[in-house]
């Protein structure tokens, strides 16, 4: 509904105030320089001072800043006073100092200046502060027009209580009310959805002595019908008729619009007949309202009849008429009629507007009429007409790609750029995905370069993001073709937008691993773990292999541990690869721990390295660890060639290790070759460790084992020579089969210890 404004046009020339530019006082000049822009200082206003204003006596003493002028280029326009005041209010807090500065700038305000400042204020709060200040400071007495202006400003900014307060204070200032002010408030409360307040204000008008005309009723009808209160609208319509107020064509247009909005077809038809019975002939607005109403009710045939009727009465359809018909045909799926109506409109010289294109293009896409859609888009670009809803471009891109028209889809993106419509990551994503599907990877990569170069993904205002099928398609291609670094750059931008896609993560790990960059792959894996993203076992295997190929088995072991911690179970081959890498890198204990983990997980294949690891542990003096691994192997059902180990240790002079291994075997009743006993004894005797040899020989005998008699005789001889006659005597008795007498109780026997 259009409101009749009584505001006078106040487009005047810039005002000049006495003493403003000819001030000789240096402090005044500095004050102006502080609050004004460079333009306002360098270029004084060119208007002459009015005859009623007194010219100072020292006018000929022009300050230096007035004599300055632009030496090059076009002379700049001076800044208007109202612009200076608005800039001052925008840049500084509303304090007494600012108020004094404005007062020094403009000692006296007139209605035109006040209206200009209110109109150009940066926000409603500035306008309200200025409005109240000039009145309190007695700089200006507000008029009907300044009150109307501030009420409109506050209403638009939804500061409705302030606007209402100013309206109610008007009589106290001697400024009478008029209907237009109440109409503005009714409309503003309605726009904010506060219907009850709109009704209260309408009712207050008669109480306050403000005469209501058809304009007030029209404003009320619009508010209450927008909220679906059609019964209330009918009641107030009857009251309007009873009050002798004659409805206008605009009144009926508003009522018809509202009744159709409430889906009350019969009520709308009755009012339409009432309109004609009063001699009010429908115009193009009426027909447009009716056509739109029937379209809303899915009665496209009724809309068609009205459209034909309108043309039969020589009422020329407007772009709104055609657009409404197009919308109706689109909703009913009559695509052929849609394009026919569009061509008819252009044939009558009626140019489509943004709403027309916004309505037409989705309909053509739904019907997969993409050649026609391409023509319409080209026309939009030529006319430089942007649609009201930018989401149609996603639909255009998707439909063109679905039909395989990738060049046409790419033209959609270029059209967006030509129409100055912001392109988003989602638009690029659709094209990139479909270029990858069509094996046009070079074009996809070029689009990706533009996307990352302009950091479109990271724009905070973006609402259309890349979907997983889009970025996964290009990331997979890049990772499979030696360009994982670029893929990671893309994905790091996506991660900043909250993306945690496991497919992309695993592809990056695979890509870096295949390219021999396991450190980068491991960093990606750590990010996955920190963000709780599930990883794939295959990516772990590739990463382990990559570290091993690079000769960093310790890191490979870390990855293996991480793999197990995250619920994946390596196979025997992967365990063996890691053990072999660690063993070759002489990290025997670490390899031993991998073997332990392997056995604990129940993996028993590929244990050929176990013997080498055990031997190395013994050779390096990690005897207890080696014995623990042997026991674990035995418990897991894996055989250990202890005879071989005893033989190797004896040959290489590791007598204590051999002794402990033999002692360990005897305690667990392992079956050993008699030759193994002899080898251990020989090595002990050769090393001069006779007491150790004696001790183990006694244990061998107690377990029913047998040794070479020569070794026993040699040991007896050596024991006697060393003064250990008692031990020699015991061994002699063991050889002859005599019973060895146990020592008496209470008599302490010397403890037989291993001598290292």
Rounded to an integer, the average pLDDT of 2-12 is 39
Rounded to an integer, the average pLDDT of 22-42 is 35
Backbone angles phi, psi at 74, to 5 degrees: -80, 140
How confident is the model at residue 710, as a pLDDT? 65
How confident is the model at residue 259, as a pLDDT? 94
Instruction: Categorize the per-residue pLDDT at 736 as very low, low, confident or very high, splitting at 50, 70 and 90.
Output: low
| Stronger pLDDT, 69 or 724, i.e. the higher one | 724
Dihedral through CA 183, CA 189, CA 192, CA 193, nearest 10?
-110
Closest CA to 507 of 493, 486, 498: 486
How confident is the model at residue 243, as a pLDDT? 92
Closest CA to 128 of 100, 102, 159, 106: 159
Beta-carbon contacts of residue 576 (< 8 Å; ≥ 6 apart): 606, 608, 609
Residue 461 has pLDDT above 70, yes or no: yes
Total-model pTM: 0.68
How confident is the model at residue 705, as a pLDDT? 61
**Contact in structure between 556 and 521 (CB atoms under 8 Å):** no
Quote the longest CA-to-CA distance of the chain: 151
Measured from the Cβ of residue 504, the count of other Cβ atoms closer than 10 Å reads: 25
Instruction: Categorize the per-residue pLDDT at 737 as very low, low, confident or very high, splitting at 50, 70 and 90.
Output: low
How confident is the model at residue 75, as a pLDDT? 56
Rounded to an integer, the average pLDDT of 244-250 is 94
Instruction: Categorize the per-residue pLDDT at 38 as very low, low, confident or very high, splitting at 50, 70 and 90.
Output: very low
Lowest average pLDDT, out of 163-172, 181-190, 216-225, 745-754, goes to: 745-754
Mean pLDDT for the chain?
83
Rounded to an integer, the average pLDDT of 351-361 is 92
Rounded to an integer, the average pLDDT of 595-614 is 86
How far apart are alpha carbons 475 and 484 in whole angstroms? 8
How far apart are alpha carbons 499 and 495 in whole angstroms? 5
Q: What is the token pair recorded at 447? A: 């689009």
**Interhelix angle for 518-530 vs 537-549, to 10°?**
150
Instruction: Categorize the per-residue pLDDT at 16 as very low, low, confident or very high, splitting at 50, 70 and 90.
Output: very low
Instruction: Categorize the per-residue pLDDT at 74 as very low, low, confident or very high, splitting at 50, 70 and 90.
Output: low
Q: What is the token pair recorded at 665? A: 């075997």
Rounded to an integer, the average pLDDT of 210-216 is 93
Residue 397 has pLDDT above 60, yes or no: yes
Beta-carbon contacts of residue 414 (< 8 Å; ≥ 6 apart): none
Start-to-end CA span in the chain (Å) = 109
| C-alpha 30: how far from chain center | 50
Residue 129 has pLDDT above 60, yes or no: yes
pLDDT one-digit tens code per residue, 157-211: 999 999 999 999 999 999 998 999 999 999 999 999 999 999 999 999 989 999 9
Instruction: Categorize the per-residue pLDDT at 76 as very low, low, confident or very high, splitting at 50, 70 and 90.
Output: low
Residue 42 has pLDDT above 70, yes or no: no
How far apart are alpha carbons 520 and 525 in whole angstroms? 9
pLDDT one-digit tens code per residue, 559-594: 999 888 888 888 888 888 999 999 899 999 999 999
Rounded to an integer, the average pLDDT of 657-667 is 87
| Stronger pLDDT, 71 or 437, i.e. the higher one | 437
Backbone angles phi, psi at 386, to 5 degrees: -90, 145
Dihedral through CA 128, CA 134, CA 138, CA 140, nearest 10?
-110
Residue 348 has pLDDT above 70, yes or no: yes
How confident is the model at residue 571, as a pLDDT? 87
How confident is the model at residue 77, as a pLDDT? 64
């Amino acid at each position: 509904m259009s409101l009749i404004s009584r505001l006078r046009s106040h487009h005047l020339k810039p005002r000049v105030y006495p003493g403003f530019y000819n001030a000789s006082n240096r402090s005044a000049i500095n004050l102006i320089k502080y609050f004004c822009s460079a333009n306002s200082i360098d270029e004084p206003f060119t208007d002459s001072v009015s005859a009623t204003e007194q010219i100072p006596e020292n006018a000929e003493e022009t300050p230096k800043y007035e004599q300055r002028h632009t030496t090059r280029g076009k002379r700049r326009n001076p800044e208007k006073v109202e612009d200076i005041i608005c800039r001052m209010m925008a840049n500084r807090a509303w304090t007494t100092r600012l108020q004094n500065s404005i007062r020094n700038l403009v000692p006296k305000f007139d209605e035109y200046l006040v209206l200009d400042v209110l109109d150009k204020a940066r926000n409603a709060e500035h306008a309200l502060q200025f409005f109240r200040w000039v009145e309190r400071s007695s700089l200006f007495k507000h008029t009907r027009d300044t009150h109307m202006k501030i009420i409109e400003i506050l209403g638009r900014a939804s500061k409705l209580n302030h606007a209402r307060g100013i309206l109610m204070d008007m009589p106290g200032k001697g400024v009478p009310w008029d209907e237009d002010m109440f109409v503005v408030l009714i409309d503003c409360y309605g726009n904010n959805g506060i219907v009850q307040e709109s009704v209260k204000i309408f009712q207050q008008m008669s109480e306050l002595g403000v005469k209501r005309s058809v304009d007030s009723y029209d404003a009320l009808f619009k508010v209450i019908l927008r909220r679906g209160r059609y019964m209330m609208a009918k009641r107030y319509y009857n009251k309007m008729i009873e009050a002798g107020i004659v409805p206008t064509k605009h009144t009926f247009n508003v009522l018809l619009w509202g009744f159709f909005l409430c889906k009350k077809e019969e009520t709308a038809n009755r009012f339409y007949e009432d309109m004609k019975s009063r001699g009010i002939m429908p115009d193009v607005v009426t027909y447009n309202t009716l056509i739109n109403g029937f379209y809303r009710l899915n009665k496209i045939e009724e809309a068609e009849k009205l459209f034909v009727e309108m043309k039969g009465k020589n009422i020329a359809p407007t772009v709104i008429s055609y657009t409404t018909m197009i919308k109706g045909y689109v909703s009913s799926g009559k695509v052929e009629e849609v394009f026919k109506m569009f061509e008819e409109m252009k044939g009558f010289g009626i140019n489509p507007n943004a709403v027309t294109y916004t309505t037409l293009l989705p309909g053509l896409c739904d019907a997969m009429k993409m050649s026609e859609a391409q023509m319409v888009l080209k026309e939009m670009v030529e006319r430089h007409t942007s649609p009201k809803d930018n989401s149609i471009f996603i639909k255009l891109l998707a439909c063109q790609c679905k039909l395989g028209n990738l060049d046409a889809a790419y033209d959609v993106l270029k059209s967006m750029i030509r129409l100055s419509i912001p392109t988003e990551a989602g638009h690029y994503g659709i094209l990139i995905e479909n270029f990858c599907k069509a094996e046009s990877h070079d074009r996809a990569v070029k689009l990706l370069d533009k996307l990352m170069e302009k950091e479109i993904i990271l724009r905070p205002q973006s609402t259309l993001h890349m979907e997983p099928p889009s970025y996964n398609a290009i990331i997979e291609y890049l990772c499979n073709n030696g360009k994982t670094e670029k893929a990671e750059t893309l994905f790091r931008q996506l991660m900043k937008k909250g993306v945690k896609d496991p497919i992309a993560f695993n592809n990056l790990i695979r890509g870096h691993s295949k390219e021999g960059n396991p450190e980068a792959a491991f960093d990606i894996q750590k990010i996955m773990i920190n963000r709780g993203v599930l990883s794939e076992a295959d990516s772990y295997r590739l990463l382990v292999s990559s570290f091993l190929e690079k000769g960093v088995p310790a890191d490979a072991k870390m990855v293996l541990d991480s793999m197990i911690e995250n619920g994946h179970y390596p196979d025997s081959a992967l365990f063996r690869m890691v053990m072999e890498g660690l063993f070759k890198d002489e990290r025997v204990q670490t390899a031993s721990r991998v073997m332990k983990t392997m056995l604990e997980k129940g993996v028993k294949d590929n244990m050929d390295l176990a013997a080498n690891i055990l031997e190395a542990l013994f050779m390096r003096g990690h005897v207890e660890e080696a014995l623990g691994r042997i026991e674990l192997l035995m418990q897991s059902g894996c055989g250990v060639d202890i005879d071989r180990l005893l033989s190797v240790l004896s040959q290489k002079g590791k007598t204590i290790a051999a002794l402990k291994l033999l002692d360990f075997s005897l305690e667990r009743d392992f079956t050993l070759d008699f030759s193994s006993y002899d080898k251990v004894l020989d090595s002990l005797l050769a090393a001069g460790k006779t007491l150790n040899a004696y001790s183990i020989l006694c244990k061998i005998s107690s377990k029913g084992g047998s040794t070479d008699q020569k070794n026993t005789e040699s040991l007896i001889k050596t024991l006697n020579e060393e003064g250990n006659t008692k031990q020699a005597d015991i061994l002699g008795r063991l050889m002859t089969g005599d019973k060895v007498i146990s020592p008496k109780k209470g008599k302490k026997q010397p403890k037989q210890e291993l001598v290292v």
